[in-house]
Amino acid sequence: MGEPIVSEIRVISFGLGPIGSEVARVAASKSNMRLVGAVDIDPSKVGRTVEEVTGAPSEVIVSSSLEEALQNTEADLILHTTSSFLEVVKPQIESAIEKGLSVVSTCEELSYPWRTYPGLATELDMKAKEANVRILGTGVNPGFVMDAFPLTVTTVCQKVDRIHIERVVDAGGRRLQLQRKVGAGLTVEEFRQLVATGNVRHVGLPESAWMIIDAMGWECKDFEESIEPIVAEREILAAIGNIQPGQVAGVRQTIRAYGRDIEKLVLDLKMYVGADEPVDHIQIWGIPDLDLRFDGGVHGDRATASIVVNAASVLMNLPPGLRTMLDVMPLRFRS
Amino acid sequence: MGEPIVSEIRVISFGLGPIGSEVARVAASKSNMRLVGAVDIDPSKVGRTVEEVTGAPSEVIVSSSLEEALQNTEADLILHTTSSFLEVVKPQIESAIEKGLSVVSTCEELSYPWRTYPGLATELDMKAKEANVRILGTGVNPGFVMDAFPLTVTTVCQKVDRIHIERVVDAGGRRLQLQRKVGAGLTVEEFRQLVATGNVRHVGLPESAWMIIDAMGWECKDFEESIEPIVAEREILAAIGNIQPGQVAGVRQTIRAYGRDIEKLVLDLKMYVGADEPVDHIQIWGIPDLDLRFDGGVHGDRATASIVVNAASVLMNLPPGLRTMLDVMPLRFRS
């Protein structure tokens, strides 16, 4: 029907934690994808089958390194889920590039590194182009609900003055890891100490802000970011241990960006245990105004695994280099 | 920032009715576009400036034909807004192709002609490829709110079982032309006669259905389509003349598609005078379930003009041929 023909993509799952395992299961379900390898550093996973470790119906044996995985197979792409931080994943991604593999990674800082790590971004972009491979960072957030998807919504606008995006996540319905990440159960003082040392925060919100600012062509030189505790007002039952009134239930992280002293962008992310009404809410002021809401919100883990795998099919048709979701979802308001 | 570089696109506005004029105004506002020509067959518009006819700040003179418009300029693309019907626009599009021009058209039947007019689609596709140009049909509906945009939403899904899309348009807030199109003010009998002769219907709903069915890979061989009157229960004040209780306020057009006897897709479009709560509502059952709503709906005319112009920037980076919004918005659930 006129679409570019994508042949089967041979993928290696790199990282088999909770998200990586879910990514492997989704990849294994796709008709245009074949899981040909899996990598994890956890000795309790290495040597077992992907099915034993992840539940994905695959007899592929988990390797301890990409080199080992490639001894018995060729591949096109790695689905990479090891760390949120660009400096941690950089050698892993460079290793994939050297082996001629494209990469879709959940690394939050890779989602839009052109502003936050311009040097690393340029370096990865050049190496990927030389090796004729494609690199992409994506996931539900950053990568979709608070950046690329609202930009897609601006397609219907003749003018965009201001964007306000709110995401409310019920951390109680999510992995224990997320409940710890948002500071659930801490005292307010403990929470503030962890914020001060950078240990309680959602990685990727600045990347979302820069992606939107650049895509809209707004003259925002910098923005304000705040990280505040959401304090329990009643006892909240939680897998991590019940949270008492006055203890921290989670985190509210907000970015406000201004262009020529006018507020252009607000990203308002609340992740806490006991959030009764999860939602993704996008408001756009312009011509026309728009008010869009996902009632119940978009489930983070389900969505991240889906986006990573679905984006891989699009990525393989893009020009080589370090790509972003602006390339994978190119339709939006153009100034 | 790693995106393909698009140089300035030189556009000709072909058709300067209400939508065409709005398209011209939007095109004139873009930094990457230059309005170099305008065409309309209305003798009262020919010879005047685009600014006089449309309000777009442009001294370009309106020509009576594409040939005439091209006597004084070169161009890359026409923004085409003349008819809903593929057989009417085909010679106009072929003429553009012969002149080496790409086309973005609001022709509803061009939005996804592969199922409804496979012969014409193949012919246009081949001619466009030979001439190294791109052809696209788009707009708010078909083209976005009831097809390509919900497909973008499926990106977050690991599995898609069923899609239900509802669009409610207040025809009272729209052009008189739309109020007539939806049958406002008719008796129920008059309405049914016009439906029987094909004169009251929203053109493009089958195209939306086929686009979704093909993109999801569903085995739906055919679908049910119904067109029913929405009858006024109270007197409704309307520009077209007040509508009395018992008269027709507008139209409800519904498509239901089944795959292996299970309902997979419902498109439910209501356009009537007096719709108090316009909305675009997308429900997806799968993993995860999704419930998304534009409160107040997406304004048809504002959105169509925006989408046509914004899509042109993406189209020029795609391979030549007859393209659809599946190419312009490539990210979605892949089976």
Q: What is the pLDDT of residues B64-78, one digit of tens each?
A: 999 999 998 999 999
Supply the angle between the helices B86-98 and B118-130 in degrees, to the nearest 10.
10
Average pLDDT, chain A: 95
What confidence score (pLDDT) does residue B23 get?
98
B303/A288 touch (CB, cutoff 8 Å), yes or no: yes
Which of these ranges, A172-186, A237-251, B67-81, B224-238, has the smallest mean pLDDT? A172-186
Measured between CB atoms, does A334 come within 8 Å of chain B?
yes
B237-263 per-residue burial string, b: 16 or more CB within 10 A, e: under 16: ebebeebeeebbbbbbbbbbbbbeeee
Q: Is the alpha carbon torsion for A53, A56, A59, A63 positive or negative?
A: negative
B155/A306 touch (CB, cutoff 8 Å), yes or no: yes
Contacts of B302 in chain A (CB under 8 A): 156-158, 287-288
A298/B288 touch (CB, cutoff 8 Å), yes or no: yes
Predicted ipTM?
0.96
d(CA A208, CA A325) in angstroms, rounded, equals 10
Question: A110: alpha, beta or left, given left = phi > 0 and alpha = psi -120 to 50?
Answer: alpha
Best of A310, A326, A335 to disrupt the B interface (most B CBs within 10 Å) is A310
**Which of A 137-156 lie inside 8 A of B, CB atoms?**
140, 144, 149, 152, 155-156
Residue A144 vs residues A202, A333, B73: alpha-carbon distances, Å: 15, 16, 41
Res A173 pLDDT > 50: yes
Q: Please give the average per-residue pLDDT across A223-229, as a whole number.
A: 96
Tally A–B CB contacts below 8 A. Answer: 148
Contacts of B156 in chain A (CB under 8 A): 140, 144, 298, 302-303, 306-307
Residue A78 bridge partners (DSSP): A12, A103
For residue B218, what is the enclosing H or E element? none
d(CA B326, CA B114) in angstroms, rounded, equals 12
Q: Which of B31, B303, B330 sits opposite A156 (nearest CB)?
A: B303
Q: How far is A194 from chain B (nearest CA, A)?
A: 32
**Which of A 31-70 lie inside 8 A of B, CB atoms?**
31-32
Measured between CB atoms, does A335 come within 8 Å of chain B?
yes
d(CA A151, CA A165) in angstroms, rounded, equals 11
Contacts of A288 in chain B (CB under 8 A): 298-299, 302-303
Exposure of B198 in the CB half-sphere (CA atoms within 13 A): 3
B326/A3 touch (CB, cutoff 8 Å), yes or no: yes
Q: Is the alpha carbon torsion for A54, A56, A62, A67 positive or negative?
A: negative
B292/A289 touch (CB, cutoff 8 Å), yes or no: no
Q: In which residue are the tokens 């082996």 written? A: A99
Contacts of B299 in chain A (CB under 8 A): 288
Domain boundaries, chain B: 9-140+303-328, 148-297
B1/A324 touch (CB, cutoff 8 Å), yes or no: yes
| Peptide bond just before B57 cis, omega within 30 deg | no
Best of B54, B282, B334 to disrupt the A interface (most A CBs within 10 Å) is B334
Q: How far is B62 from chain A (nearest CA, A)?
A: 23
What fold is seen in the domain A148-297? Dihydrodipicolinate Reductase; domain 2 (3.30.360)
Q: How far is B178 from chain A (nearest CA, A)?
A: 19
Q: Please give the average per-residue pLDDT across B12-17, as a whole number.
A: 98
Q: How far is A193 from chain B (nearest CA, A)?
A: 35
Residue B280 vs residues A151, B164, B248: alpha-carbon distances, Å: 18, 11, 22
Per-residue pLDDT tens digits for A176-186: 888 888 999 99
Per-residue pLDDT tens digits for A251-309: 999 999 999 889 999 999 999 999 989 999 999 999 999 999 999 999 999 999 999 99
B302/A287 touch (CB, cutoff 8 Å), yes or no: yes
Q: How far is B181 from chain A (nearest CA, A)?
A: 23
Sheet of strand B134-137, all strands in order from the earlier edge strand to the far edge: B62-63, B33-39, B9-14, B77-80, B102-105, B134-137, B321-322
Measured between CB atoms, does A94 come within 8 Å of chain B?
no
Measured between CB atoms, does A5 come within 8 Å of chain B?
no
Per-residue pLDDT tens digits for B18-54: 999 999 999 999 999 999 999 999 999 999 999 999 9
Instruction: Please state which CATH class domain A9-139+303-328 belongs to.
Output: alpha beta
Contacts of A317 in chain B (CB under 8 A): 330
Binned at pLDDT 50, 70 and 90, residue A2 comes out as very low
B155/A2 touch (CB, cutoff 8 Å), yes or no: no
Judge whether A9-139+303-328 and A148-297 match in fold: no
B294/A295 touch (CB, cutoff 8 Å), yes or no: no
Per-residue pLDDT tens digits for B274-306: 998 999 999 999 999 999 999 999 999 999 999
What confidence score (pLDDT) does residue A6 get?
56
CATH of B9-140+303-328 given 3.10.20.30, 3.40.50.720, 3.30.300.30, 2.40.50.110: 3.40.50.720
Per-residue pLDDT tens digits for A7-27: 899 999 999 999 999 999 999
Q: Please give the average per-residue pLDDT across B188-204, as a whole number.
A: 93
Res B4 pLDDT > 70: no
A152/B329 touch (CB, cutoff 8 Å), yes or no: yes
Binned at pLDDT 50, 70 and 90, residue B6 comes out as low
Q: Please give the average per-residue pLDDT across A184-209, as a whole number.
A: 94
Res A175 pLDDT > 80: no
For B114, the closest chain A residue by CA position comes to A1
Binned at pLDDT 50, 70 and 90, residue B2 comes out as very low
**Which of A 182-221 lie inside 8 A of B, CB atoms?**
214
**Which of B 263-322 lie inside 8 A of A, CB atoms?**
287-296, 298-299, 302-303, 305-307, 309-311, 313-314, 317, 319, 321-322
Are the CB atoms for B216 and B251 separated by under 8 Å?
no
Contacts of B114 in chain A (CB under 8 A): 1-2
What confidence score (pLDDT) does residue A72 get?
86
